[in-house]
Homo-oligomer: A and B are copies of this chain.
Amino acid sequence: MQNQTINANDVNTWHDTADVIILGYGIAGACAALEAKRAGADVLVVERASGGGGTSATSSGYFYLGGGTAVQKATGDEDDADNMFRFLATSTAAPDSDIVKRYCDGSVEHFDWLEAQGVPFERTAYREKTLSTLTTECLTSTGNEKVWPYRDIARPCPRGHRVAMAGDAAGGKAMEALLGQCASENIRTSCDSQAIALIVDAGRVVGVRVRQYDSIKDLKADKAVIIATGAFGNNPAMVAKYAPQMQGNTYPIGIPYNDGAGIELGISVGAATQAMQNVMPTASFYPPGQLLKGIVVNNRGKRFVAEDSYHGRTASFVMEQPEGKAWLILDAEIFAYPELEMFGHSLVDGWETVEQMEAGLKLPPGALQKTLTEYNRDAAAGEDRRFFKYKDWLKPLDKAPYAAFDISFQKSTYFFFTLGGLKVSARAEVLDANGTAIPGLLAAGACACTIPQDGKGYASGLSLGPASFFGRIAGQQAAQAARRD
């Protein structure tokens, strides 16, 4: 899919005109629409599906927010914007400090705004370690805040704010509220419409060409076009090009429209991209949380990650190991099956001795014994002197029989979504390779690269959170943009 741009002079008929045209009606698009409309702009949302929601509506419904939100205050979890900044500025691969700072400084206000739109959040917390909660409790730790070295850099604090809806896909509840708000404010939409090209005039984006059923329509944007489309995990060609490691037994998370179409549109007018090779992978071996007391080793019998890492971080490290191989090692005291069967972690076997386990896993002779000797000594002393796993998860693994689950990349099923996208400023401007904003073009949501940039630093809620936050900023910026005559 190679996009051509259309020159405005070549447009015969403008089929419709708005101040602000928004491509994509997921959470970034909906938030952009609300803010642009409220700032007085005439808004038109172009959406490929027959209605709004996008991948956001299918998501787990976490917003990564902090700095002292109403929920954090209610649950007694002390946080402040500086503390949140210290965490995100170091856990993000190549942070733009303006983007991170703006997000942290605006986080409390953004939470209040979401609630004001009708997105429901309880004043409760969920304190267990899990992949994704299915209850209505709100605040939970969804990242690496307590993982070393982050806990030494910023005071750990839970920041995952889950929408109050029981069951999976609580993101749908958020979208229901936001789309309802859009409808009540008469946001115009053009559904079943795919943007196929940007229309430019002397270097400025002034509109978009869309295909709606069998018609081609040219839509004029007097102020700005906002790309608010999805990631590209469902575009095999783009995955093969940008993130070729995600082949084989891997499975993209999200809806089929996550095909990178908006990213390609941005590239067609000279946009730079960022972190296109990076994904958030997961093949979580927890819940249950007790499995974090096990150790994870590679095909050399060596540990390589703090096992209490967020599941995306652990999966990212597994993928870097020789042959992508890794096993979760347990003893009888903590043995349990990983709850989430979709990842296909298989029990290799049980063994009476570490020597037998080592042989059964075909590890180099003595390697696993050496690893366990050191780990058990450290665990008994209450400090993991190699990866600094948090003390709550430390216990000597010395109660036979032992067991191992194969959690290798390719052997287990790794789910993922892509994290790369258009390079943007903290004002949601789309930037070219020189760092210059492309006139008339803004972007937010999964098509843009803001705070989550790689699987090692990802936290649940870093998709909906920045998407909604910078979606709002895009809407505000677009409404303020100089009108094109």
Residues of B within 8 A of A387 (CB): 97
A86 and B97 alpha carbons, distance in the complex (Å): 25
Residues of B within 8 A of A321 (CB): 435
| A326 to B: closest C-beta gap in Å | 12
A322 and B271 alpha carbons, distance in the complex (Å): 13
Looking across the interface, which residue of chain B has its beta carbon closest to that of A302? B98
Whether A90 lies near B149 (C-beta < 8 A) is yes
A323 and B322 alpha carbons, distance in the complex (Å): 36
| A327 to B: closest C-beta gap in Å | 14
Which residues of chain A in 319-349 are interfacial with respect to chain B, using CB atoms and an 8 Å cutoff?
Answer: 320-323
**A304 lies within 8 A of chain B by Cβ:** yes
Query: A269-301 interface mask toward B, CB cutoff 8 Å, 1 = contact, 0 = none?
Result: 000000000000000000000000000001110
A97 and B152 alpha carbons, distance in the complex (Å): 19
**A434 lies within 8 A of chain B by Cβ:** yes
Contacts A149-B153, A152-B153 given; does A322 touch B434 at CB 8 Å: yes
Of the candidates B94, B97, B298, which one forms a contact with A386 in the assembled complex, judged by CB atoms under 8 Å apart?
A: B97
| Residue tally, chain A, CB below 8 Å to B | 30
Q: How many copies does the complex hold?
A: 2
**A385 lies within 8 A of chain B by Cβ:** yes
Looking across the interface, which residue of chain B has its beta carbon closest to that of A87? B149
**A101 lies within 8 A of chain B by Cβ:** yes
Which residues of chain A in 51-75 are interfacial with respect to chain B, using CB atoms and an 8 Å cutoff?
Answer: none
A64 and B322 alpha carbons, distance in the complex (Å): 29
A300 and B431 alpha carbons, distance in the complex (Å): 11
Looking across the interface, which residue of chain B has its beta carbon closest to that of A432? B322
Q: By CB atoms of chain B within 10 A, which of A153, A298, A434 has the most?
A: A153
**A209 lies within 8 A of chain B by Cβ:** no
**A82 lies within 8 A of chain B by Cβ:** yes
Whether B435 lies near A322 (C-beta < 8 A) is yes
**A303 lies within 8 A of chain B by Cβ:** yes
| A157 to B: closest C-beta gap in Å | 16
Contacts A90-B149, A153-B152, A153-B153 given; does A82 touch B385 at CB 8 Å: yes
Whether A435 lies near B304 (C-beta < 8 A) is no
**A433 lies within 8 A of chain B by Cβ:** yes
Whether B386 lies near A435 (C-beta < 8 A) is no
Looking across the interface, which residue of chain B has its beta carbon closest to that of A433? B322
Whether A320 lies near B94 (C-beta < 8 A) is yes
If A82-B385, A90-B149, A322-B431 are given as contacts, then 13 extra A-B residue pairs at C-beta distance below 8 Å, sorted by A number, are A85-B385, A86-B149, A97-B302, A97-B303, A97-B304, A97-B387, A98-B302, A101-B386, A149-B149, A298-B435, A322-B433, A322-B436, A323-B433
List, sorted by A's number, 15 A–B pairs whose CB atoms are closer than 8 Å: A82-B385, A85-B385, A86-B149, A86-B388, A90-B149, A97-B302, A97-B387, A101-B386, A298-B435, A299-B435, A321-B435, A322-B431, A322-B433, A323-B433, A323-B434
Q: Interface of A with B (CB < 8 Å)?
A: 82, 85-86, 90, 94, 97-98, 101, 149, 152-153, 298-300, 302-304, 320-323, 385-388, 431, 433-436
Closest 7 CB pairs of A and B: A322-B435, A149-B153, A322-B434, A152-B153, A90-B149, A300-B435, A97-B386
